[in-house]
Structure 1
Amino acid sequence: MSNQTKGVIYAAITAFFWGFLAIALKVAVRKVDPHTIVWFRFLVAFVFLLGWQLYKNPSSLKILIKPPWLLIVAAVGLSWNYLGFMLGIHYTTPSNAQLFIQFGPMMLALSGFLIFKERLSKMQLAGFLVALLGFAFFYSDQLRAFFAGKDQYNMGVLLTLSGALAWTVYAVTQKKLVTKYPAPMLNLFLFGFPTLIYLPVVDLEPVFELNWAWWLLLIFLGFNTLIAYSSLAQALRFIEANKVSVILFVNPIITFITMGILTYLSVDWIPHERFSAMTILGASLVIAGAVLVVKKSKKKEVSSPNASPE
């Protein structure tokens, strides 16, 4: 399997899991405060990855003691990204938070051009512009809601944007680090650092009062973190940052489709969303643009010197 194919698959896995994340977080915050949810996500991901690395590669644990400074920067960025996104969902809705968190992948794409000197073919550039146009159509209703929003809503949007910017810092530093260190080793620190710094603000009393269904939801959130970010690290390892960012644009569409089904079923445990022909048009353009960007060039692929076989 080529590096291009591997990278696309890993990025698609991340987009798939993130597509359901905002909805699950919105449900979880009904019973558990945002800080504790963020801490629990990192804890579950860290514990399972730690167990795996102890079995597979115990020497990788040395990064917990002596991490490179760029990894500390990435961990700080990821720590705030989680909380900013969580608070954004708390104050707005899953789809609205998904809109403004996409500022992160947009900035990652720009970083690909400015920092990593990545180039796009004419077809890929056209795909990128089509995806951005579709993104604007897709979220036209939500953007109008922002400009007409109340103070609490707009505060949620600003918190989400701050989380998106923090995610860009994480992604750029991760892109640099993943060429020198194995992704599981990096994620071990990236999950462990926030688990430690968020510990003072954790309130576990409501968690211990939950029934088994709510516990399953929290565990799902932890595994979502583990799988999505492990896949993202591998995607950044194998393909360009701008391609990863465009694939990630698809994840809000998964959120909207799921929310559309829930709205149609008239469930009462999550706020409903509104849809229009513009939303459907935008979703179609985003998918078409993503396909154009990730489509393989006719030229023979040259393996990256930084990529090593699995």
Structure 2
Amino acid sequence: MTDNTKGLLYATATASLWGTLAIVLKISLSYFDPYTVVWWRFAMAFTFLLVFFSIKKPGYLKIVRRPPLKLILAGVLLGINYIGFMQGVHYTGPAVTQVMIQVGPLTLALTGILFFKEKISRLRGTGFFIALSGFSFFYFQQLQRLGGEPELLNLGVLWIMAGAWAWTGYAVLNKILVRSIPSAQINLILYGVPALLYVPLADFSRLLTVNTWEEIVLLLFMGGNTLAAYGALSLALKYTEANKVSMIITVNPIITFLIMELLIWTEVSWFEVPPVNLLSYLGALLVLIGALLAIGVIRGSKGAKGKEK
């Protein structure tokens, strides 16, 4: 198996985990509150890394004693991103959250243009316009679905926007920090800071009463998803080009939509699946195409040839 194939497989694994996660998070809300879920995901990931480094790389634990201020801030922003996504799933559902959260990568691309003086091509500019049109189209389709009662949708979208913009800030800080600190050490603090942040908000009494296999599987999946997805993403970037990885993981909402359609088709009774009409799918498709263009994953033929040289 070539390195490129390995990279594509790892990227596909990341997209699959993230695409499935939104639906699992929605199911988890039948058992736990949003803050408890977010705390558990960070706490499990942090504990695993802490034990692993204690055995394999004790030197990595030195960063816990005096983490850089930028890294602490990045951890706070990642914590806001997680709860924003979680509350988005709570109020609007997996499909809407997966589409609207694409504001994060788009804002990051815009940040690169405005603050890091990255060049914007006509193709990338077109991508921003297409994505913005898609967001508007998708949002108003959801309003029509709700029949004039937009309160929950608006509240959910506000949470998603907060999470998306927090992710942008985290990504910028992470891009700076990774130049001087190993990514594994960065992740240790990124998981640890939000775990501490959400201690006052988590319902530990509920976690102590977990006694069914459904609850146990949900907790293990949600905690393991954080480790597995980011681990697979790191390996994907190691084995193949970043633009190929970005193209695969950016379309992870498609996986969410496919699973949602499957659940609707099988008429599941244990999970409320709001239907998504054809026009909403069109809006979602515009968002994804626009995002791929705007972040520079899809390039013109001239740019592609230049890169090959």
The one-character-per-residue Cα deviations of 1:89-119 (angstroms, maximum 9, x if unpaired) are 2222121222332222221121222233334
Q: Does 1:294 align with 2:297?
A: yes
CA distance in structure 2 between the partners assigned to 1:159 and 1:121 by the alignment = 31
- Higher mean alpha-carbon deviation, 177-186 vs 153-162, is at 153-162
Quick one: distance in 1 between partners of 2:148 and 2:98? 18
- Distance in 2 (CA, whole Å) between partners of 1:125 and 1:252 is 22
CA contact (8 A) 1:53 1:60 kept: yes
Residue 5 of structure 1 and its aligned partner are, at CA, apart by: 9.0
Distance (whole Å) between structure 1 residues aligned to residue 111 and residue 3 of structure 2: 21
- In the alignment, which residue of structure 2 is the partner of 1:164? 164
With over 3 angstroms needed to count, the CA separation of the structure-2 counterparts of 1:285 and 1:144, relative to structure 1, is same
Question: Would the aligned equivalents of 1:138 and 1:283 in 2 still touch at CA under 8 Å?
Answer: yes
CA distance in 2, matches of 1:136, 1:128: 12
Q: Deviations over 1:204-262 (max 9, x none)?
A: 2222333122111111111111233345567789977x987765541222111111110
- Cα distance change, pair 295–92 in 1 and its aligned pair in 2 (3 A): closer
Aligned position for 1:15: 15
- Which residues of structure 2 form unaligned runs of 5+? none
Choose 204-213 or 79-88, whichever is displaced more. Answer: 204-213
Pair 1:97 & 2:97 matched: yes
CA distance in structure 1 between the partners assigned to 2:100 and 2:298 by the alignment: 26
Q: Which residue of 2 aligns with 1:45?
A: 45
Distance in structure 1 (CA, Å) of the matches to 2:149 and 2:198: 30
Q: State the shift of 1:62 in Å.
A: 1.3
Q: How many residues align?
A: 301
Q: Distance in 2 between matches of 1:92 and 1:291?
A: 24
* Alignment deviations for residues 122-160 of structure 1 (CA, whole Å, 9 cap, x no partner): 666666665665666666623545894343332222122
For residues 114-263 of structure 1, what are the structure 2 equivalents within 5 Å? 114-119=114-119, 141-142=141-142, 144-145=144-145, 148-207=148-207, 208-231=209-232, 248-263=249-264
Question: Mean alpha-carbon deviation: is it higher for 20-29 or for 104-113?
Answer: 104-113
Q: Distance in 1 between matches of 2:74 and 2:249?
A: 19
Structure 1 distance, partners of 2:148, 2:158, is 14
Q: Is the alpha carbon distance of 1:104 and 1:69 closer, same or farther for their aligned partners in structure 2, counting shifts above 3 Å?
A: same
SS in 2 for 1:172: helix
CA distance in 2, matches of 1:13, 1:124: 27
Overall identity of the aligned pairs, in %:
47
CA RMSD of aligned residues (A): 3.6
Q: Normalization by structure 2: what TM-score?
A: 0.80
Deviation string for 1:37-64 (max 9, x for gaps)? 1111011111222233233322111111
Partners of 1:147 and 1:81 lie apart in 2 by: 29
| Counterpart mapping for 1:69-108 below 5 A | 69-108=69-108
In 2, Cα distance between equivalents of 1:109 and 1:143: 28
Give me the whole-angstrom Cα distance separating, in 2, the residues matched to 1:16 and 1:128. Answer: 25
Contact kept in structure 2, 1:108 and 1:245, CA below 8 Å: no
- Deviation (angstroms), 1:203: 1.4
Change in 2 beyond 3 A, CA 1:180/1:147: farther
In 2, Cα distance between the equivalents of 1:198 and 1:205? Answer: 15
For the residue of structure 2 that corresponds to 1:181, the secondary structure is: coil
Alpha-carbon contact 1:6-1:235 (below 8 Å) kept: yes
Contact 2:11 2:232 in 1 (8 A): yes
Aligned-partner Cα distance in 2 for 1:139–1:187: 34
CA distance in 2, matches of 1:128, 1:250: 16
Unaligned runs of 5+ in 1: 303-310
Q: CA deviation at 1:7?
A: 8.1
Query: How far did residue 73 of structure 1 move?
Result: 1.2
Residue 265 (structure 2) aligns with: 264
- The answer to which of 115-124 and 251-260 deviates more is 115-124
Report how far residue 161 of structure 1 moved: 1.6
Q: Which range is displaced more, 250-259 or 93-102?
A: 93-102
